[in-house]
Structure 1
Amino acid sequence: MIDKLEYLLALARERNFGRAAEQCGVTQPTFSAGIKQLEDTLGVMLVQRTSRFLGFTSEGERVLEWARGIVADARAMRQEVQALKKGLSGHLKIAAIPTALAMVSALTTPYRAKHPDVKFTILSRTSIEVLSMLENLEVDAGLTYIDNEPLGRMRAVPLYREQYRLLTSAGSPLGDHDRVTWSEVAKIPLCLLTPDMQNRRIIDQLLNAAGGSLEPTLESNSMIVLFSHVRTGRWASVMPEKLAETLGLTERLRSIPIVEPEAVHQIGLVVPPREPMTSLVSALVTQAKAVARQMAKPISS
């Protein structure tokens, strides 16, 4: 039955029979027959359909919740047995919001030093997509905001606090300031993330509260695109402090603290609230706690 439950999860992700079948590596007739067999076994209709997928029935939604837990437990059991047999190995998939992508290496690098047989896939996603992918077992863990919008049932490990800087050239408006206010930032042209990103929603709220009418001169879902424009010396943006440090500042590029108010948000690792956790995820949580302790230490003078 596990394979049929995997079919159900694939259908929940793809919302399309053909794509779900392809993801499961079977033909569409085989896939549809598997869903029908699951319905016959349980004695209820799970999927609303004509010639295409229309959604899940109320019974289907409930079975989907059970399927996520059962499939996750089956995967965890296989990983645990494999780890007992030949040590920690496998594939970790992590989805991260764009502003946290540069910090993923702080987790993966020491992790792989301890567990060299583990491979990684890192995906850039919105905060909403991170939670959805975790719910549907598409990824093992996520990096996202943990204090601004609801996380649902996810377990969170705080990593670091995100503080904001105005990135601009020294010769641009506000470029000669040591500190700037959100009210001042609201008056200059900015390039920012697209509105589907939680970072953008946070910045919108701060700028609107400061009396600004936000109309970015450029939008992108990539921080690299924004940073490459700012580096030309002809654009300005608002970015998290740690991201700006990681990407690197040039001689003519300045990272200026934004105050009044001094906004801070918490970034953390989020994982499904399953017990026991898979061996791979458990090791990642342990590593995240170690990174958090390291980042919380004051810098010695």
Structure 2
Amino acid sequence: MQTRLVEYFLALHRERHFGRAAAACHVSQPTLSAGIATLEGQLGKRLIVRDRKYAGLTPEGEAILPWAQQIVAATEALGQAAGTARGPLKGELRLGAIPASMPATGILVEAIRSHAAELNVQLRALTSRQIERDLAAFELDAGVTYLDFESPAHALSIPLYTERSILVSARDGITVPETPEWPDLAGLPLCLLHQGMQNRRILDARVAAFGLALRPTVTADSYIALLAIIRQGHLCTVMPDSHITLLEGLSWARLTPLPETSEPNRIGIIVSDRAPMSPLAQTVLAVARSLRLPAPYRPA
């Protein structure tokens, strides 16, 4: 069985469209279709539901999916292991990071590049649940995410730092308390991340501990969007203090710390807990163990 045929199958499952899958594999659509038909012939089972276009996987396709993912991942790791026996690590490192961690990813990526200069790094902004799912599906090599709230399963982790929350508003906009408490958030006009984002779920849980609920006027999936909204002066938001480095010099922004909590949010690197571990995952863990983030990041 050719690994390339399995790659065609996985690309079609991921893209859910023959044309896009073919483009992702850098082949023509007829070549991809013929390759998947060959794979089906070798296995003696239909893997794809076809109705003039892609319509999902058959039960047999679903059954082989995790094995197909392992085959391709193992083949890639095999090549990396052979290549690093007498030379530097090469290839592409796929790194997923939650939006809350994005300011720290610049430091992390630079440290990875210093450790393995010939690696290409593909950084993707994902939710914590997407990171956990994509690690399990061999679609990521490592992730940067929360370690304690909804702890990731089947993962090895290295803590990087802890975060504190800050209230961000426009200086010439709405009035906010000088020293806000967590219950105060329930009475403020807010724009926040949506509930699919773990930072928002952590925030909701903290306010719920006081018997209150947050009802934001606007929700978004990025802090850039939240900043663009609050700059208009009518709403405020809650962000991690790691974003202070990116907010420096914004004269319109007012940053107000929220109280410390007994359980600070730890953010760190995770990789799948598998043996043998891929050279890419080993590299990320090695970098994470030695990485010391500067202020305002606080050690985990």
Per the shorter chain, which TM-score range?
A: 0.7 to 0.9
The SS at the match of 1:68 is helix
Change (3 A) 1:260 1:146: closer
| Counterpart-to-counterpart distance in 1, 2:262 and 2:256 | 12
CA RMSD of aligned residues (A): 2.8
| Counterpart-to-counterpart distance in 2, 1:48 and 1:87 | 43
Number of residues of Structure 1 aligned to a counterpart in Structure 2: 296
Change (3 A) 1:173 1:212: farther
Give the superposition deviation at 1:131.
2.8
Give the superposition deviation at 1:292.
6.4
Structure 1, 67-76 or 206-215: larger mean CA deviation: 206-215
Change (3 A) 1:247 1:138: farther
Give the superposition deviation at 1:3.
0.6
1:202 aligns with 2:206: no
Give the superposition deviation at 1:31.
1.5
1:189-221 C-alpha deviation (Å, 9 max, x unpaired): 112123332222222333344344533233322
Match of 2:187 in 1: 187
Match of 2:150 in 1: 149
2:166/2:255 contact within 8 Å kept: yes
The SS at the match of 2:258 is strand
Match of 1:214 in 2: 214
Change (3 A) 1:230 1:291: farther
1:247-277 C-alpha deviation (Å, 9 max, x unpaired): 3365664433333865533322222333232
2:144/2:270 contact within 8 Å kept: yes
Give the superposition deviation at 1:30.
1.9
The TM-score with structure 1 as length reference comes to 0.85
Match of 2:167 in 1: 166
2:128/2:146 contact within 8 Å kept: yes
Structure 1, 98-107 or 213-222: larger mean CA deviation: 213-222
**Ranges in structure 2 where 5+ consecutive residues have no aligned partner:** none
The SS at the match of 1:104 is helix
1:9 aligns with 2:10: yes
The SS at the match of 1:44 is coil
Change (3 A) 1:233 1:34: same
Matched to 2:271, the amino acid is V
Give the superposition deviation at 1:86.
2.9
1:233/1:253 contact within 8 Å kept: no
Match of 1:270 in 2: 270
| Counterpart-to-counterpart distance in 1, 2:65 and 2:71 | 10
Matched to 1:218, the amino acid is V
Change (3 A) 1:266 1:260: closer
Structure 1, 215-224 or 61-70: larger mean CA deviation: 215-224
Give the superposition deviation at 1:238.
0.7
